[in-house]
Amino acid sequence: MSIRVLIAAGGTGGHIFPGIAVARELQRRDPNVAVLFVGTARGLETRVVPLEGFQLELIDIAGLKRVGLLNMIRSLSMLPRSLLRTRAVLRRFRPDLVIGVGGYASGPVLLGAALKGIPTMVIEPNAYPGFTNRVLSRFIRAAAVGFAEAIPYFHSKVVVTGNPVRSEFFQIARQEKAAPEASRSSFHLLIFGGSQGSHAINVAAIAALPTLLHKYAQLTVTHQTGEQDLSPARATYESLQWANRITTLPFIHPFAHELARAHLVICRAGAITLAELTAAGKPAILVPLPTAADDHQRKNAEALERRGAARCLLQSELTPGRLVEEVSRLMDDPARLAAMAEASRRLAHEGAAAKIVDLAYRLLKGADCGLRIADCGIKAPKSEVQRPQSDEVHCRRLDTNEADRGVRNRESAIRDPQSAIG
């Protein structure tokens, strides 16, 4: 009998796409697995999840952090209704496991599942966990994190897996390595600001592109603006003599197809964005979001820059002239661009989704985690993280009372078709 997995993910692509990568790995292991996504009507999930072929249920919930007093009161007033809706979804779908991928949709879903004794785990892509996952850390049974720096926030229930990326992103790097370009007769620049677009990047790009297009006849551009800046961007570009060399989109899907065309990327520095860039082996100019919690995007971008995979350009330094300068420097130096691409590829962690599914099956078999950091293929630098007292992530077996709450009676349904876990 196949398992049933509910994935709570909502808001931005950084919360949704890791869940999709894990869902695909679950399907690869067992084509009969039942997967249900839960999100909100306001998030990107309403567009992306159905396109990826998965079912989606909606709950009414909003964020609580950095929203102002009135919006916080409004969000709190939604909680009772969202918990009731969550209870109905859990009763109807009857999941064996609930996975949260961050974002406010995860909160009531994982809390409701934990109260019902359903095994729960979260995926945390950032070095500093998001607000929802920090709150949930005391309720969940396991956490899969992308960075070793996140270990202390989940204590003894954490496994470092890397960030899950859909398999098509790794195919990009493999295909380019197998068939390297014979020439630089064309150069494609991809500009995007995350799933909702970036006004700051848009303003600088719209002003910089006329100069770049005039300077480089081989340059073509795809600019994902988000909905808000789409009309002014298109109006500006259509007035240029190079309009046929620019494609303007509110949102890119499928993203891997567009990323495969790019020789250089200008974008934000969210954890999942960077995981996709490194999987594809793409050099980038990264503009960290300055309002990101605890400045985590800047830390992400600087980590890639230190390793030679990207250039970090702070938003306070982002001017049309500086953007022209940065792009020109890289376009004029193919050897440096190639070195950045190779450095990017070396940072990729293929198999993160498989490690997360391994953890899920082990959790379902009765352990909170049961893996060691060393088992995950990612070393936690002692100088960068407050490590546990030993290298092993401590794991306790579920006690009898926990089993009686519904874990033991699922045992017959839990079979890993490929016996990934001994």
The pLDDT tens digits of the residues spanning 137-147 come to 989 999 999 88
Contacts of 59 (CB under 8 A, 6+ apart): 38, 39, 40, 82, 85, 86, 89, 105, 108, 109
pLDDT tens sequence across 379-414: 443 433 343 333 333 333 333 333 334 433 443 433
Mean pLDDT of 213-242: 96
pTM score of the predicted model: 0.71
pLDDT tens sequence across 242-278: 999 999 999 998 899 999 999 999 999 998 899 999 9
Torsions phi, psi for 193 (to 5 deg): -120, 35
By C-alpha distance, which of 141, 146, 105, 139 is closest to 123?
146
pLDDT greater than 90 at residue 375: no
Going by pLDDT thresholds of 50, 70 and 90, the confidence category of residue 128 is confident
By C-alpha distance, which of 97, 67, 144 is closest to 2?
97
Question: Given this model, what pLDDT does residue 352 score?
Answer: 93
C-alpha separations of 215 from 86, 208, 420 in Å: 55, 11, 53
Query: CA 162 to CA 145: how far, in whole Å?
Result: 6
pLDDT tens sequence across 145-193: 988 878 999 966 899 898 998 889 999 988 887 666 644 679 999 999 9
Location of structure tokens 């297009």? 213
Location of structure tokens 């979260």? 122
Mean pLDDT of 50-72: 71
Indicate the SS3 state at residue 308: coil
pLDDT greater than 90 at residue 14: no
Decide: 195 and 251 in contact? Cβ < 8 Å: yes
Query: CA 73 to CA 68: how far, in whole Å?
Result: 9
Return the bridge partners of 219, or none: 187
pLDDT tens sequence across 341-363: 999 999 888 899 999 999 999 99
Q: Is the peptide bond before 254 cis (omega within 30 degrees of 0)?
A: yes
Question: Given this model, what pLDDT does residue 105 score?
Answer: 79
| 418: DSSP letter | T
Amino acid at 212: L
Torsions phi, psi for 210 (to 5 deg): -55, -40
Contacts of 387 (CB under 8 A, 6+ apart): 148, 151, 380
pLDDT greater than 50 at residue 66: yes
Going by pLDDT thresholds of 50, 70 and 90, the confidence category of residue 41 is confident
pLDDT greater than 70 at residue 367: no
Question: Given this model, what pLDDT does residue 398 score?
Answer: 35
pLDDT greater than 50 at residue 127: yes
How are strands ordered across the β-sheet holding 97-100? 55-58, 34-39, 4-8, 97-100, 120-124, 142-145, 158-160
Question: Given this model, what pLDDT does residue 310 score?
Answer: 98
Comparing 22-26, 207-211, 262-266, 349-353, the range with the smallest average pLDDT is: 349-353
pLDDT tens sequence across 71-102: 555 655 566 676 778 889 999 999 999 999 98
Question: Given this model, what pLDDT does residue 328 score?
Answer: 98
Mean pLDDT of 208-214: 97
Ordered structural domains, the chain, with CATH: 4-164+351-413 (3.40.50.2000), 167-346 (3.40.50.2000)
Mean pLDDT of 102-112: 85
**Mean pLDDT for the chain overall:** 82
pLDDT tens sequence across 311-338: 999 999 999 999 999 999 999 999 999 9
Question: Given this model, what pLDDT does residue 247 score?
Answer: 97
